[in-house]
């Protein structure tokens, strides 16, 4: 239902998004049957395509041409897809969006090479963009995402982290690529510098809000809604915002340390998730997400009036208030 609601928000772009979807299928095609199967397995897993949507909407503030916009929308989604495959290997995740991950369907080696292949395909698409500034933005985003993945590995199972560590991590994990989607859509379409900067900041703020909500939903949604066990982030050693608000509590600290030990049973997992769900850490995390969301909306308010501006506002509100 929630995913259908999101699709309704950009239904007027349906034909262009279908075009991008076909381009993505072409992009992941290779001479290897195994690579094709693994790449299409990931592609058809049901992503929201938020990054391509933001590319296209940002392009509406300039001279919009879908044949140009695809050269940004496709590589950005490919970069995102590749990072998901690598994340699943790092986290040893069996399920994503209710389906087996590439590493679970095949193995870690196939997953890593599939991720590398998709990254390489993104680089091929980038060469179709003539603007050197666009190349700098995309290459910087790719470098930062890789750095972020290493930092995420280093931070795993470390309960004593600062809020600053978390915000830097989710910036690289999510916000940077969404900010790049908005900025590049504007740049490639020839939008003015002021508009491009507003869109870049909008993308950053909405990306931060989006990831915080994602981390909240890991505790507040059901296993069925998530398509994976609730509390997976914690069990896998990823310390998110709700946990940072609870880590110094004498009431929660022993349970959190036990959860990170790898010895937790299913009954114990569900009990801890329920306790976290009912704690004030959820409201505190939502409040910070809302601060980022309001900053994103402020950037939208500064944009020229258009249908694209209205769509950006509606999608931002959806992303900041979604239930799963």
pLDDT of residue 5: 62
pLDDT of residue 1: 44
pLDDT of residue 93: 83
- pLDDT per position as a tens digit, 98-114: 788 999 999 999 999 99
Give the three-state DSSP class for 276.
Answer: helix
Q: Is the pLDDT of residue 56 over 90?
A: yes
| Region 123-149 average pLDDT | 91
pLDDT band at 11 (very low <50, low <70, confident <90, very high): confident
**pLDDT: which is higher, 240 or 86:** 240
Nearest to 55 by CA among 196, 172, 173: 196
Strand partners, 96: 99
pLDDT of residue 94: 86
Say if residues 181 and 58 touch (Cβ distance below 8 Å): yes
User: pTM for this one?
Assistant: 0.93
- pLDDT per position as a tens digit, 119-133: 999 999 889 998 999
Say if residues 182 and 200 touch (Cβ distance below 8 Å): yes
Instruction: Report phi then psi at 99, rounded to 5.
Output: -125, 160
Residue-by-residue DSSP string for 42-92: HHTT----HHHHHHHHHHTTS---HHHHHHHHHHHHHHHHHHHHHHHHHHT
Instruction: Tell me which of 15-29, 82-96, 250-264 is least confident.
Output: 82-96
Distance CA 85, CA 115 (A): 6
Q: Is the pLDDT of residue 14 over 60?
A: yes
| Region 25-40 average pLDDT | 92
Give the three-state DSSP class for 95.
Answer: strand
Q: Which long-range contacts (CB under 8 A, 24 or more apart) does 62-69 make?
A: 62/186, 62/188, 62/189, 62/190, 62/191, 62/195, 63/189, 63/190, 64/189, 65/189, 66/16, 66/19, 68/188, 68/189, 69/16, 69/185, 69/188, 69/189
Mean pLDDT, the chain, integer? 92
Nearest to 85 by CA among 44, 121, 114: 114
Q: In angstroms, how far is CA 240 from the centroid of its own chain?
A: 15
Distance CA 254, CA 266 (A): 17
- pLDDT per position as a tens digit, 202-226: 999 999 999 999 999 999 999 988 8
pLDDT of residue 98: 74
Q: Locate all alpha helices (DSSP H) within the chain, ordered by sequence.
A: 2-9, 14-27, 33-43, 50-59, 66-91, 102-105, 108-126, 132-155, 163-170, 176-188, 193-220, 223-226, 232-235, 241-246, 253-259, 266-277, 281-301, 307-321
Specify whether domain 2-321 bears CATH 3.40.50.1860. Answer: no
pLDDT of residue 7: 66
Q: Is the pLDDT of residue 6 over 70?
A: no
Give the three-state DSSP class for 96.
Answer: strand
pLDDT of residue 4: 52
Give the three-state DSSP class for 99.
Answer: strand
């Amino acid at each position: 239902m929630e995913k259908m609601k999101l699709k309704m928000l950009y239904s007027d772009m349906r034909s262009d998004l279908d075009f991008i979807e076909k381009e993505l299928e072409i992009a992941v095609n290779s001479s290897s049957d195994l690579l094709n199967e693994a790449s299409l397995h990931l592609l058809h897993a049901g992503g929201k395509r938020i990054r391509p949507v933001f590319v296209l909407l940002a392009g509406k503030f300039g001279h919009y041409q879908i044949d140009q916009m695809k050269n940004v929308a496709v590589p950005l989604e490919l970069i995102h897809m590749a990072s998901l495959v690598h994340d699943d290997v790092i986290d040893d995740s069996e399920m994503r969006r209710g389906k087996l991950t590439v590493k679970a369907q095949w193995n870690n080696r196939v997953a890593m090479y599939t991720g590398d292949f998709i990254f390489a395909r993104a680089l091929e698409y980038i060469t179709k963009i003539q603007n050197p500034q666009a190349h700098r933005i995309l290459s910087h985003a790719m470098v930062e995402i890789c750095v972020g993945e290493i930092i995420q590995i280093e931070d795993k199972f470390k309960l004593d982290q600062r809020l600053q560590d978390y915000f830097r991590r989710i910036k690289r994990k999510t916000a940077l690529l969404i900010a790049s989607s908005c900025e590049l859509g504007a740049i490639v379409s020839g939008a003015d510098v002021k508009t491009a900067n507003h869109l870049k900041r909008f993308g950053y703020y909405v990306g931060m809000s989006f990831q915080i909500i994602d981390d909240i939903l890991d505790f507040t949604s059901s296993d069925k809604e998530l398509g994976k066990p609730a509390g997976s982030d914690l069990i896998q050693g990823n310390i998110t915002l709700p946990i940072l608000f609870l880590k110094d509590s004498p009431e929660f600290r022993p349970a959190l340390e036990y959860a990170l030990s790898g010895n937790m049973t299913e009954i114990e997992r569900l009990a801890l998730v329920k306790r976290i769900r009912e704690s004030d850490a959820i409201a505190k995390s939502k409040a910070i997400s809302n601060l980022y969301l309001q900053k994103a909306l402020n950037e939208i308010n500064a944009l020229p009036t258009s249908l694209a501006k209205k769509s950006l506002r509606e999608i931002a509100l959806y992303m900041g208030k979604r239930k799963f």
